[in-house]
Amino acid sequence: MTDSRSKTRELLEQLASTEYRRSMRADQIFRTLREEKDAEERAARAEQERRQDD
């Protein structure tokens, strides 16, 4: 019985670790996408300002 509980605990810890890494990776992807979108918006504003100056 103890071996079964030990194995179950080990599997749950592995799952939690995997889910944590997956969550961290998703956060990283969303952060990168947000940064890229912000950079595109800044570039578009700069281009618009440049056109207004011409």
Distance separating alpha carbons of residues 16 and 38, to the nearest angstrom: 33
Q: How many domains does the chain have?
A: 1
Query: In terms of residue numbers, what domain contains 19?
Result: 1-54
Task: Please determine, for residue 1, whether its predicted confidence score (pLDDT) is greater than 70.
Answer: no
Alpha helices in 1-54 (DSSP H): 2-53
Interval 10-37: pLDDT, tens? 999 999 999 999 999 999 999 999 999 9
Please write the tens of the pLDDT for every residue from 31-41.
999 999 999 99
* Residue 54: band (very low, low, confident or very high) from pLDDT cuts 50, 70, 90: confident
pTM of this prediction exceeds 0.95: no
Q: CB burial class (10 A; 0-12, 13-18, 19+) of residue 11?
A: exposed
Burial classification of residue 24, based on how many CB atoms lie within 10 Å of its CB (0-12 exposed, 13-18 middle, 19 or more buried): exposed
